[in-house]
Amino acid sequence: MSSVAGSDDRTAAARIRDAAIALFGELGTDKATIRGVAAAAGVSPALVLHHFGSKEGLRAACDEYVVAEYRRSKQDAVESGTTDPFAALAGVEKSLSHLRYLSRAIRDGSPAASRLFDEMVAESKRVMQLSVAKGLLRPSEAPHDRAVLMVAWQFGGLVLHEHVARGMGAEPFSTELTARIARAALEVLTHGVFTDARYADAWQATDRSGDDHTAMEPNEEDRP
Amino acid sequence: MSSVAGSDDRTAAARIRDAAIALFGELGTDKATIRGVAAAAGVSPALVLHHFGSKEGLRAACDEYVVAEYRRSKQDAVESGTTDPFAALAGVEKSLSHLRYLSRAIRDGSPAASRLFDEMVAESKRVMQLSVAKGLLRPSEAPHDRAVLMVAWQFGGLVLHEHVARGMGAEPFSTELTARIARAALEVLTHGVFTDARYADAWQATDRSGDDHTAMEPNEEDRP
DNA sequence: CCTGCGACTGAACTCATGTTCAATATACTA
DNA sequence: TAGTATATTGAACATGAGTTCAGTCGCAGG
């Protein structure tokens, strides 16, 4: 309810940026053309270059903007008091185009998206440490790896949202879909899926690369 | 140890296909050019079109081939007796280029990859039902959703492997990385991450869209 | 008034890339 | 040996798209 206000009182650069976010997210940075962005923003193709230098510059600007927005909204959600890692995912229904863009950016491996991933790993790790101390989360034998995995799963749900939606027979980004994902995820993350620890024990027993890779986790500090 | 045999006794079409799989996987279907594929295969660009009709035809051929290979290797793994859904992920270290290609295909949303996703959901669901009956897996309140989610997580680990590798400080597709992923995943999937069910219960209590979406799961049959 | 500066545009340029086509080499058949 | 089909190629074609550029419009300041 914030970005796509109907009025065109935004500055031309902002209109271009928003149109680019929408088009890049919908078609990908390759298929989306400068001419298409310009047409969607109601300006000439040359103006796009005038403001952003190049297509890559435009992409970088969109990256910065969307990631900053996402970071901000997530920060708000965190400061609202929720501590579970899925609150963020559930709370970001606000802007479809931004989500779509983010999904694309992660898929395409843009630098900003990679930075975001790393940041979220660090923050997830920190929050998880706190939650473990509070007794809300089980301690892990490999806290860093677990944090990476959980962020990857969270982002994976975003990147593969189209497939997940199709698989569940629900509309992409619909509240019903996010609710069902959250429900299934909570179930698995609360109770696990296995009835006993035979698989985990069996894996443990194979002792591949030993028990020492718990100690070889990189960057133990929280801020990079 | 199978696909990239050093000798060039493969037929030209096979060489082109393999080069295309490698390049498409590395650069994406857009950035990879027919000329690049031809050069990598040691043939002329025109021959690529002669054999595959068009770039889209080449992509379709690669899709079919890689997906069929993946399906076959997974079938083998399943018939070997393992029933947990992560055996497949751990067992497919055989061909890097195929994995990379598959990752790309899923990211780009190619039809073949989507079909593969749906197949794996169906199969995962079937295997999970069996495992539940055997007492190996916990019964779920939403078996279909759980199957979709687990497949999405599995594929998510594949699609985001680059980020996961960077986050864990390990080489992409290395045995160390897959081992650590499997270990962390097994831990989470065995014990969960939460110490109690307060989050799951809280979510349950909000009762959004009710308890009935367990019954609205689509296509209950296993073969689509 | 006019001078400069930023927003903005239309048209042209350049280049990469998918594709076509006529021509040649190779292999298999009669 | 002749002939035909298949494999293969070099060169050219067409087009889409990023980028450049000269120039116009509007406006603030001297």
Nearest nt (C1') to A53 (CA)? D19
Instruction: Quote the DSSP letter at residue B6.
Output: S
Q: How many whole angstroms separate alpha carbon A125 and alpha carbon A143? A: 7
- Rounded average pLDDT over B204-222: 46
pLDDT at B217 over 90: no
| pLDDT given for residue A215 in this prediction | 36
In chain A, pLDDT over 90 holds for what percent of residues? Answer: 51
* C-alpha R_g of chain B: 20
The separation, in Å, between residue B14 CA and nucleotide D30 C1' comes to: 75
Q: How many whole angstroms separate alpha carbon B152 and alpha carbon B159? A: 10
User: How many H-runs (helices) and E-runs (strands) does chain B carry?
Assistant: 11, 0
pLDDT at B14 over 90: yes
Q: How many whole angstroms separate alpha carbon B143 and alpha carbon B127? A: 11
**Which 112-141 residues of chain B touch chain A by CB within 8 A?**
114, 117-118, 121, 135-138, 140-141
- Rounded to whole angstroms, what are the CA distances from B20 to B8, B49, B188? 15, 12, 37
Q: How many whole angstroms separate alpha carbon B215 and alpha carbon A117? A: 35
pLDDT band at B28 (very low <50, low <70, confident <90, very high): very high
pLDDT (tens digit, 9 = 90+) per residue, B152-193? Answer: 998 988 889 999 999 999 998 888 998 899 899 999 999 999
pLDDT band at A206 (very low <50, low <70, confident <90, very high): low
- Label residues B63-87 b or e (16+ Cβ within 10 Å = b): bebbbebbeebbeebeeeeeebbbb
The answer to whether the CB of B186 falls within 8 A of the CB of A200 is: yes
Residue B26 sits at the chain A interface (C-beta within 8 Å): no
Residue of chain A minimizing CA distance to B110 = A163
Token couple for B172: 């992409």
In Å, how far from its chain's centre is CA B146?
Answer: 17
C-alpha torsion sign, points A45, A49, A55, A61: negative
pLDDT (tens digit, 9 = 90+) per residue, A44-82? Answer: 999 999 999 999 999 999 999 998 988 888 777 666 655
In order of their start, the domains of chain B are 10-53 (1.10.10.60), 67-214 (1.10.357.10)
pLDDT (tens digit, 9 = 90+) per residue, A129-142? Answer: 999 998 989 999 99
Residue type, A14: A
- Nearest Cβ partner of A138 from B151, B192, B204? B192
